[in-house]
Amino acid sequence: MTVLVAAAEGGVVIGTGEAIVFWVLGPVALAGALGMVLSRNAVHSALWLVNTMLALGVFYVVQEAPFLGAVQIIVYTGAIMILFLFVLMMVGRDSSDSVVETLRGQRVAGIVLGIGFAALVGAGIARAAEGTVVRGLAAVQGEEGGAANGNVEAIAEVLFTRYLLAFEVTSALLITAAVGAMVLAHTEREPGTRQTQKELSRARFLTADHPQTLPGPGVYARANSIAAPGRLPDGSPAAASFSTGVEPQVVDELPPSGSVGAERAGIPHSGGTDAALGTVGGTSTGTTPGSGEQAPR
Amino acid sequence: MSIVNYLVLAAVLFTIGAVGVLVRRNAIVVFMCVELMLNSVNLTLVTFARTTGTIDGQLIAFFVMVVAAAEVVVGLAIIMSIYRTRRSTSVDDANLLKY
Amino acid sequence: MTGSETLPAEGLLAASWLLIALPLAGAAVLLLGGRRTDRWGHLLGTATVVVAFVIGLLCTVQLAGVEGRSVQVDLYTFMQTGTLDVQAGLLFDPLSALFVLLITGVGALIHVYSIGYMAHDAARRRFFAYLNLFVAAMLLLVLGNSYVALYVGWEGVGLASYLLIAFWYRRPAAATAAKKAFIMNRVGDVGLALAVFIMFAQLGTTDYAGVHGSVGLLAGGTVTALGLLLLLGACGKSGQFPLQAWLPDAMEGPTPVSALIHAATMVTAGVYLIARSAPIYDATPTARNVVLAIGAVTLLIGAVIGCAQDDIKKVLAYSTVSQIGYMFLAVGLGPAGYVAGLAHLLTHGFFKAGLFLGAGSVMHGMGDRTDIRRFGGLASRMKVTFVTFGLGYLALIGFPFLSGWWTKDAIIEAALDHGGTWGWVLGGVAILGAGLTAFYMTRLMLMTFFGPARWEDGVHPHESPPVMTAPMVVLAVGSVAAGFLLVQAFPLSGWLEPVFGEPEEAGHVVAPIVVSIVVTLVVALGVLTAWLFVGRREVPVTAPARVSPVVRAARRALYADTVNESLFMRPGMWLTRALVFVDNRGVDGVVNGTAAALGGSSSRLGRAQTGFVRSYALGMLGGAVLVAGALVAVTAG
């Protein structure tokens, strides 16, 4: 707490300590926001956002809202962002991570509008809030022996009296959200139609399609670029891994078959297929470029 | 140093979040941008609570967090189900809602 | 109903609905029975009408003994709500009885005749079905106790007339004539329908007793309008000026149809309507004068055109137009003329039906040819036809002591007795018409039955079978005797007294004997002129081209069709074309244009909806910027 009580207008003068915190953490928050938007990798974005949120949490604490600061860090940074990362890990890295803009003029228009919006709102708020007397919350939540014993008690008092109805409605909202998420994420299956693993794999191999899980971009690639398509075991580009946004490029060719890693490792292979990858025996059922569609799930 | 600093910072963060929504195609990143916008609004709420000397702003911010949590749960579930059917989290791929 | 109480019907009169039901049932059986009834259909059709005639005769005899000579048969309550009580019922009074006897009597004879006439027609059953339908509708027309019932029958006979004119519907001329008759009848029917509407709107009732009892309550203008509208209906149905043009064309139908519908019965419905509406016309001298004028004009038009026609049925048709003009003239004269007009209607029914049947017989013998310039010398070949036709002819021109003489002279006397200049004009027109009638009928007689034979090759005239000649004989007897019976032996005026009141013995302007002598002389003059023109000389086989404008006009039916075409048909077609144009370009243009504009603009706007969420979000941010800008502008300003 670096709040100094100013006697003159009965207001609070923002002290130097708070200014130092602001000027240190403000750029950090800004950098986190910009990093989130600019990161190509969604996981990086999430980490940048965590950065911003932590900074905001500190701002809350500085601004006489220690409870909110704690909630921000625990719930937001802790729970929600973990949820984000969890989903990111489930979905996997995706070709939509591409930063190539596909809508014409979208990026320029968005940036221009964004700058305009920031200028207007910032200028408007600055004009309106210029010279506002900061009353401070000491009278409400006070220190020990004040109107209430601190921030948490003050919030609890208001929350369970004046905002009781909203609080209860919130519970309904949360239960609805939980049920909704379950409904959305749950796939219904007819009782008795559950297939055994044997049947599933038989069905998968009976189709002429890709029998395996789809390769992520770059799984078999020799490059990290999103533009480099994945390779099928026979060395041809995996159509299913083509990026939707960029022209696929062949960054490198497979080395001659004699130098395939598996062979070098001494594992015999037959029929030209890469036995080390060990999924298809004998003949290759790998998709050819252009015919690769979604594998049945 | 005054509260204006906080407010302008919140405005800038909000704008960055909005622009992020516009330019990013990964639905999850778009969602993060929305969260950023909500957070910037929370910052203004906390700031104003302190300025006016009433605790209600903090309450509202608290409710915003709760709503944001619920929204994230549902939103991520939707993203998951879209991903299941379309094998993509790009918001541009879910473009059936048109004439 | 002047002063007579209408009693509920008893005895056989209560079953007078059978009169209508029998022919209607016959028509239904014949139409629905299909080919199964082909062999005996004509006999059934004839039998229903004959039985109806017997019932009508018995009813009439019983009616003579009923006090007030008027009975009402309530059939059923059509609707009863509040003060509105619509009953469907029949009214059997002397006027109805006369028509019932005429319709069923002449109808029965013509049915019998048709058995022979249509013997070789494959569709004879259909013919008898339509004839029965006509008889039923006509009986409903004259027996109904309200204007609505009359209207139903009125439209029924119109339908039957249409069906029968177009009986040989494969002939374009017949189909066209039927359409013409139907449409011109519609013009008149509109008048009748409007009159019924006015009655209902003003009086709340349409039955004769109610309307006639409260005519005095109506404003003078309303009564006149009512009279004129009823007259329009009568003109349409009876082929009176200016709606006379359809009747001659209606001769495209089979000859028995011409005899029954377009000479004896249906075309006299107009006369019946005006006679039935006597209380209305009594209240409006204006409408009555219009009736007189129309009667006089039609009388002359029909006679003049009849003088120049070469088609045996067309001559008779124009004669019918002319004779109905006489009847209109008579009923237009008011109480003095009703009885005379109806007597002429009855006698005309006899001799004109007889003449048409004779014409049919001639055509039957001449292979369906109708051009009198190619007849001649048939008197020796077709003796029965000649004699019966000749008797009808004499009755029509008013040969002394035959039926036409009695009734036509009565009309001319009544016209002269009307008084004043108007009376002289009407009487003069009627006498002139008598002379013209004598001329054209004599011309017809001479060119058909006398002189050298001008037959085309391959024509072998022969007498018709007895089934055809027997009705002709009966009608010829009627032509001779009906006038005497109706005027002298059993005065019609006495029989009709309950309907039209006591005949007043007005002072004559000209002594009846003088009138008779003058008329007879004029008729003789007409006959003589015709003999000078036709009988004395060789008749050219083709009509001479170099003729006076009057003859040319008469041959073109006084340009009635031309007038109709230029006044109504052409403007109607222009109007229709203009309306079609307005509808296509204007109305449809506006509608289609609106639709196209909306469709086009919505498909343009639809392009904006790309399906990309980020585009929509861009729009939202743009809107937010605008709102923020507006807020800043307002607070800064």
Which string of DSSP letters, residue by residue, matches C204-273?
A: S--BHHHHHHTGGGS-HHHHHHHHHHHHHHHHHHHT-TTSTTHHHHGGGS-HHHHHIIIIISGGGHHHHH
Measured between alpha carbons, how far is A130 from A142 in angstroms, rounded to an integer? 26
Confidence of residue A200 (pLDDT cuts 50, 70, 90): confident
Choose, out of B2, B40, B56, B81, the residue to mutate when testing the contact with A (most A CBs < 10 Å). B2
Mean pLDDT of C146-166: 90
Q: How far is CA A222 from CA A32, A254, B77, C235, in A?
A: 32, 8, 34, 106
- What are C347-404's pLDDT values in tens digits? 888 888 889 888 888 888 888 788 888 888 888 888 888 999 999 999 888 888 888 8
The band of A86, judged by pLDDT with boundaries at 50, 70 and 90, is confident
Rounded-to-integer distance, Cα C332 and Cα C598, Å:
65
Q: For residue C583, what is the DSSP state?
A: I
What is the residue-averaged pLDDT of chain C? 85
Q: Which among C277, C288, C162 is positioned nearest to C224, based on CA atoms?
A: C288
Cβ(C434)–Cβ(C519) under 8 Å?
A: yes
Instruction: Quote the pLDDT of residue B19.
Output: 93
Q: How many whole angstroms from its chain centre is CA A291?
A: 32
**Which residues, 6+ apart, have CB-to-CB distance to A199 below 8 Å?**
none
Residues of C in contact with B23 (CB under 8 A): 614
* ∠ CA C624-C625-C631, rounded to 5°: 90
Task: Write out the two tokens for C419.
Answer: 């008084």
The two three-digit tokens of residue C482, written as one number:
């009906």
Helix-strand-coil percent breakdown of chain C, rounded to 5?
75, 5, 20
Per residue in A152-162, pLDDT (tens digit) is 888 888 899 99
Model pLDDT for residues C235-262, shown as the tens digit of each residue? 988 888 888 888 888 888 888 888 888 8
Q: What is the mean pLDDT of residues C150-155?
A: 91
Residues of C numbered 243-272 whose beta carbons fall under 8 angstroms of chain A's beta carbons: which are they? none
Please determine, for residue A286, whether its predicted confidence score (pLDDT) is greater than 60.
no
CB contact under 8 A, A117 and C635: no
Read off the tokens for C172.
């374009």
Range of lowest pLDDT (A20-29, A273-282, C425-434):
A273-282
Chain B residue nearest residue C619, CA to CA = B22
- Cβ proximity of A136 and A3 under 8 Å: yes
- DSSP-derived secondary structure for C391-438: HHHHHHHT-TTSHHHHHHHHHHHHHHHT-HHHHHHHHHHHHHHHHHHH
Rounded CA-CA distance A251/A243 in Å is: 14
> What is residue C36's predicted lDDT score, i.e. its pLDDT?
84
Using CA atoms, how far residue A168 sits from A163, A165, A180, A223, in Å, is 9, 5, 18, 54
User: Which range is least confidently modeled, A190-204, C277-291, C300-314?
Assistant: A190-204
Interatomic CA distance for residues A100 and A246, integer angstroms: 7
With contact defined as 3+ CB pairs under 8 Å, the chains touching C are A, B
The strand pairing partners of C86, in sequence order, are C79
CA quadruple A246, A247, A250, A251: dihedral sign? negative
Q: Which of C606, C609, C612 sits opposite B92 (nearest CB)?
A: C612
pLDDT of residue A223: 58
User: Is the pLDDT confidence value at A95 over 60?
Assistant: no
Strand, coil or helix: C352: helix
Closest CA to B46 of A136, A119, A170: A136
Alpha helices in B24-55 (DSSP H): 27-52
Name, of C75-79, C107-111, C204-208, C566-570, the range with top average pLDDT.
C107-111
Chains touching chain A, criterion 3+ CB pairs below 8 Å: B, C
The token duo for C392 is 């009808």
Where is pLDDT greater, at B36 or C81? B36
Residue A124: its chain C contacts at CB < 8 A? Answer: 628, 631-632, 635
- Average pLDDT of chain B is 88
Q: How far is CA C65 from the centre of its chain?
A: 32
**Residue C533: what residue type?**
F
Rounded Cα–Cα distance for residues A46 and A36 (Å): 7
pLDDT reported for residue B33: 94
| Interatomic CA distance for residues C437 and C443, integer angstroms | 10
Q: Using alpha carbons, list the distances in angstroms from residue A224 to A88, A101, A248, C440.
A: 19, 20, 13, 119
Q: Quick check: C611 and B91 CB within 8 A?
A: no
Q: How large is the average pLDDT for residues C453-460?
A: 79
| One-character DSSP codes across C18-30 | HHHHHHHHHHHHH
Domain ranges of chain A: 1-93+116-141, 142-186, 192-297
Predicted confidence at residue A250, as pLDDT, reads 55
Residue C330 and residue A128: Cα distance in Å, rounded?
105
pLDDT of the residue at C465? 85
Ranges of H-type helices in C283-382: 285-308, 312-332, 335-365
- Whether A60 sits inside 8 A of B43 (CB atoms) is yes
Flag whether residue C621 sits within 8 Å of chain B, measured between CB atoms: yes
Phi and psi, residue A224, nearest 5°:
-85, -10
- The 10 Å Cβ neighbour count of residue C586 is 11
Residues present in chain C in total: 637
Confidence of residue A214 (pLDDT cuts 50, 70, 90): low
Query: Rounded to whole angstroms, how far apart are CA atoms C406 and C423?
Result: 20
Q: Are A134 and B1 in contact (CB under 8 A)?
A: no
Confirm if C185 and C158 have CB atoms less than 8 A apart.
yes
Nearest to A68 among B19, B28, B46 (CB): B46
Q: Please name the member of B21, B23, B97 whose beta carbon is closest to the beta carbon of C611.
A: B97
**Span C562-584, mean pLDDT?**
87
pLDDT of residue A291: 41
Q: A226 or C302, which is more confident?
A: C302
* Alpha helix ranges (H) inside C66-118: 94-117
**Higher pLDDT pick, C560 / C189:** C189
Answer whether B72 sits within 8 Å of A84, measured CB to CB: yes
pLDDT bucket at C506, cuts 50 / 70 / 90: low
Pairing of strands C7-8, C71-81: parallel
pLDDT at A29: 94
Closest listed residue to residue C5, CA positions, set C70, C100, C86, C99: C70
Instruction: Find chain A residues with C-beta within 8 A of B51's C-beta.
Output: 129, 132-135
Domain extents in chain C: 1-273, 295-555
Is the pLDDT at C104 greater than 80? The verdict is: yes
Residue A232 contacts residue A287 (beta carbons within 8 Å)? yes
Average pLDDT of span C260-265: 83
pLDDT of residue A276: 43
Smallest Cβ–Cβ distance between A103 and the set C614, C622, C624 belongs to C614
State the Cα angle at A46 between A44 and A48, rounded to 5°: 70
State whether C610 and B21 contact (CB < 8 Å): no
Identify which of C594, C398, C403, C601 has the alpha carbon closest to the alpha carbon of residue C484: C403
pLDDT at C555: 78
Residue numbers in C near B96 (CB within 8 A): 611
Residue A5 has pLDDT above 50, yes or no: no
Query: With 90 as the cut, is the pLDDT of residue A175 above it?
Result: yes
> CATH number for the A1-93+116-141 domain, one of 3.30.1360.20, 3.30.70.890, 1.20.120.1200, 3.40.50.970?
1.20.120.1200
Among the partner residues C615, C618, C632, nearest to A120 by beta-carbon distance? C632
Task: Name the pTM for this structure.
Answer: 0.61
The set of long-range contacts for C426-432, using a CB threshold of 8 Å and a minimum separation of 24, is: C426/C292, C426/C296, C426/C329, C426/C333, C427/C510, C429/C296, C429/C299, C429/C300, C429/C329, C430/C296, C430/C299, C430/C326, C430/C329, C431/C518, C431/C519, C431/C522, C432/C300, C432/C303, C432/C522
Beta bridge partner(s), residue C311: C371
C555 against C267, higher pLDDT: C267
Query: Quick check: C63 pLDDT over 70?
Result: yes
Facing residue for B22 by CB, picked from C607, C610, C621: C621
Those chains having 3 or more beta-carbon pairs within 8 angstroms of chain B are A, C
Q: How many CB atoms lie within 10 A of CB A86?
A: 11
Nearest in space to C113 (alpha carbons), one of C263, C249, C247, C237? C263
Rounded to 5°, the CA angle C329-C335-C337 comes to: 35
Choose the mutation target among A18, A39, A52, A294 for the interface with B, i.e. most B CBs under 10 Å. Answer: A52
At residue C605 the predicted structure's pLDDT band, cuts being 50, 70 and 90, is confident
Q: How many CB atoms lie within 10 A of CB C560?
A: 18
> Count of alpha carbons within 13 Å of C561, Cβ hemisphere only?
13
Cα-Cα-Cα-Cα torsion B77, B78, B80, B81, nearest 10 degrees, comes to 120
